[in-house]
Amino acid sequence: MIGFLGAGRVGAQAALEVASAGIDDVTLVDIASGLAEGEAMDISQKIAETGVDVDVRGSTDFSSLRGSKIVVITAGLARKPGMTRMDLLEKNAGIVSAVAKEVAKHAPGCIALTVTNPMDVMNYVVLRKTGFPKGKVVGMGGILDLSRFKSTLCAMLDISHSSITSLVIGEHGESMLPLARFTSVGGVPLTTLMDETQIAQAMDATRRIAIDVISKKGATVDAPANGVVRMVKAIAWDRKEVIPASAYLEGEYGVNGLCIGVPLVLGGNGVERILSLDLSEKEKAQFSKGAQTIREGIAAIQGSL
């Protein structure tokens, strides 16, 4: 069973896609009376017509998570126009702390997948409050940032989305690090197709995309949900997939004691290993900038951890 803590727009969309793909039974939990139940009914009716045989349930009771192999945590306040991810810090830290304890109580053997923003800090909160081994807690951000970088590059180069192979690491936020040196277009290095100015423009556009979407439709939904589903598949199907995601570091990339986006192998055991990249001095500086932002976020809520 795949559990979803939070039946808001991203949680409900991800649950719909997980159920539609027939990955496993789905349980949505939300404290808002009727919301999770209503979403479960709606999803169940959709998959009934398409012939997918998984069970979808909704509840306000955290004990419904019992037996979950994966629990996706989307509970919390969403960004509004003009807000940064860090603007959500204090309120969401309290919400995520509370629900993480419920995950540990009712689904102690699961892998926790953090989505709530500011994601890297919230992923650290989940790790601390569940007491899970570090490999059992992972955050969704890198896949989302990667999808935005690929979309930007394809628009600038006028090429198919399928032609791009790339990587985005670091903080899931304004200090994210799209890696142009590790990006190729049909096997051709990006650095041979775009000059430094164009690459910088693509990176800046990628960092601004979420703000633009939120200003126009009020929330980012489809791309984040897709990132969740891809990670759920990697875990549920033990795909050993190499993806960028938030994990707890103990010296890797010169960082210790926080969660941040890195390339890792995601499989049935969660974070199975972290892959090391030889970053340039400029890339190291940007990665460190993001790590410092996360460190400051953790420090700001330390009294409640």
Structure-block tokens of residue 288: 């460190």
E strand or H helix that includes residue 185: strand 184-185
Q: Is the peptide bond before 108 cis (omega within 30 degrees of 0)?
A: no
Distance CA 151, CA 174 (A): 17
Cβ-Cβ contacts under 8 Å for 229 (sequence gap 6 or more): 14, 17, 18, 21
Catalogue the active-site residues: 172
Distance (Å) of CA 151 to CA 197, 210, 223, 264: 18, 13, 11, 22
From the CB of residue 289, how many other CB atoms can be counted at a distance below 10 Å?
Answer: 14
- At which residue do the structure tokens 């027939």 appear? 22
